[in-house]
Amino acid sequence: MNYKNLLILIALISATVASFFWGGYHALRPFMFASGLVLVSAICLRASMNMETRSLTTLSLVTMATAFVDEYAHTSSGAFSYFDGMEPSPLTVFGWSLLVPGVLTIARLIHRRAPLESLEYRDLRVLPVLISVFLLVDSAWIGGYLPFFDLTLVSIYTLLVAASLYYSYTHPLGWNFWVMVTSLVLSAFMEYLGGVEGLWVYQNNEPMAFFIAFTWTLRTWAILAVSSLLGAEFLEQGSI
């Protein structure tokens, strides 16, 4: 058992739980969101046992740094707000550090069983990113969120797209595809639960803005890109 990884995950989970109570989210009694958080935490704890400590540390730091900048850009633009009124909320900054490893763990498990090697063609590797960008813009337009895309938010999305294109082009299409699918499903699940139970509020007053699910695919690829440049490669055997 990798006790260093265990301590890192326990610290991240503890910080997330502390942020949950500090922000007063417990007053909402969000049973469904809390259950989802427990599930994601359990997946991360299990996955951390097979990760290199340096890779886990790099992933955690890159994820939280990205979360802080990304969440600030979205909340300051007015696209959505958090129950605690903070920009960004510590709950989501630390929460990202649990959700992203959960996404990678599930994507890795699926990729091992269905690598989609027959579809591999280098020029098509960026296709999942292009599809995500198209659906993101389309859903943001339909949902009435494009007016919230100020200079700061547009700059963040430009960086996310650039990093996503770089990462996807340098990694197999099958892996990119499963990262997209897994991040869409898991993030939509948690975003919806949090929206239903009032942890965050979107401007359309619906539980979830659809564009944010496609934002999560870009977030995940961007985090993987930066982590990869720092020497943490999660597609390699033994990383997850």
What is the b/e burial string over 200-231, where b = at least 16 CB atoms within 10 angstroms of the residue's CB? bebbeeebbbbbbbbbbbbbbbbbbbbbbeee
Ramachandran area for residue 52 (φ above 0: left; ψ -120 to 50: alpha; else beta):
beta
Kindly report the number of other CB atoms within 10 A of residue 65's CB atom: 14
What predicted TM-score, i.e. pTM, was given to this entire model? 0.93
Query: Tens-digit pLDDT profile for the chain (240 aa)?
Result: 578 888 999 999 999 999 999 999 999 999 999 999 999 899 888 777 778 889 999 999 999 999 999 999 999 998 899 998 898 999 999 999 999 999 998 998 898 888 877 677 777 899 999 999 999 999 999 999 999 999 999 999 999 999 999 999 999 999 999 999 999 999 999 999 999 999 999 887 788 889 999 999 999 999 999 999 998 888 764 444
Q: Residue 149 carries which side chain, given as an amino acid letter?
A: F
Q: At a CB cut-off of 8 Å and minimum separation 6, what does 139 contact?
A: 209, 210, 211, 214
